[in-house]
């Protein structure tokens, strides 16, 4: 746990700069092939800008303490951060580690299990920022009740949430959206376009 002085020092040298409307910026874990694939999908649909208010972390598995604090600082100052799960093939230890990071930095709790798609795929029903159904082929992270406002679900389980943090918001997607964007899924495209235009 950082004390106040360490937190302010880390915040001052944050690599995530001034926040402005329009565009998107990405924070990608090196050496994460799931993140790289998902990033390609987002890049097809979002314009990159170094000072954008929207920050997308595709295929999120494990970020450094400094990266987590930089994201926390950005969201407190008004950014909208989308954390897209990268835990489809994760071990129990990796899920536990991410769960601890999400709780400690953003107040989000994920369940200790993955929800498996039945019949090879399922549809995630998103209620916000638009009402749409996006096809999903992967295992998904289930979120604990009370983690935030539910914005996506399947089979009665919450798979996506939105949570206000400071002046900004955190969005956790327990089902990867980037691969659907890469496959030119029209519903996924509508969802991310509506989100980016509203930020």
Is the Cβ–Cβ distance between 148 and 159 less than 8 Å? no
Per-residue pLDDT, 68:
94
Q: What is the predicted pLDDT for the residue at 34? A: 83
CA 161 to chain centre: 9
Residue 10: what pLDDT?
34
Residue 41 burial (CB < 10 Å; 0-12/13-18/19+)? buried
Q: Where are the domains of the chain?
A: 4-198
The predicted model scores a pTM of 0.86
pLDDT of res. 196: 93
DSSP per-residue letters across 9-29: HHHHT-SS---EEEEEEE---
Structure tokens at 59: 């295929």
Residues in the chain, pLDDT under 50: 1-21
Measured in degrees and rounded to the nearest 5, phi and psi for residue 38 equal: -65, -40
CA distance 162 to 92: 24
How many degrees, rounded to 5, is the angle at CA 187 between CA 169 and CA 168? 5
Sign of CA dihedral 174, 86, 190, 135: negative
Class for the domain spanning 4-198: alpha beta
Residues 6+ apart with CB under 8 A from 23: 46, 47, 48, 49, 51, 52, 54
């Amino acid at each position: 746990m950082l004390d106040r002085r360490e937190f302010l020092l880390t915040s001052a040298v944050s690599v995530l700069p001034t926040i402005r409307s329009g565009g998107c910026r990405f924070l990608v874990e090196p050496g994460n092939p799931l993140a790289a694939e998902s990033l390609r999908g987002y890049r097809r649909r979002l314009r990159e800008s170094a000072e954008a208010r929207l920050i997308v972390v595709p295929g999120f598995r494990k970020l450094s303490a400094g990266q987590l604090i930089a994201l926390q600082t950005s969201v407190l100052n008004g950014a909208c951060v989308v954390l897209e799960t990268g835990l489809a093939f994760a071990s129990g230890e990796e899920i536990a580690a991410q769960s601890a990071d999400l709780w400690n930095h953003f107040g989000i709790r994920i369940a200790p299990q993955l929800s498996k798609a039945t019949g090879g795929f399922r549809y995630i029903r998103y209620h916000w920022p638009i009402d749409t159904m996006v096809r999903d082929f992967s295992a998904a992270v289930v979120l604990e009740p009370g983690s935030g406002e539910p914005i996506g679900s399947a089979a009665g389980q919450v798979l996506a949430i939105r949570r206000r943090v400071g002046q900004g918001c955190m969005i956790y997607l327990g089902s990867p959206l980037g691969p659907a964007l890469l496959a030119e899924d029209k519903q996924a495209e509508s969802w991310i376009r509506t989100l980016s235009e509203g930020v």
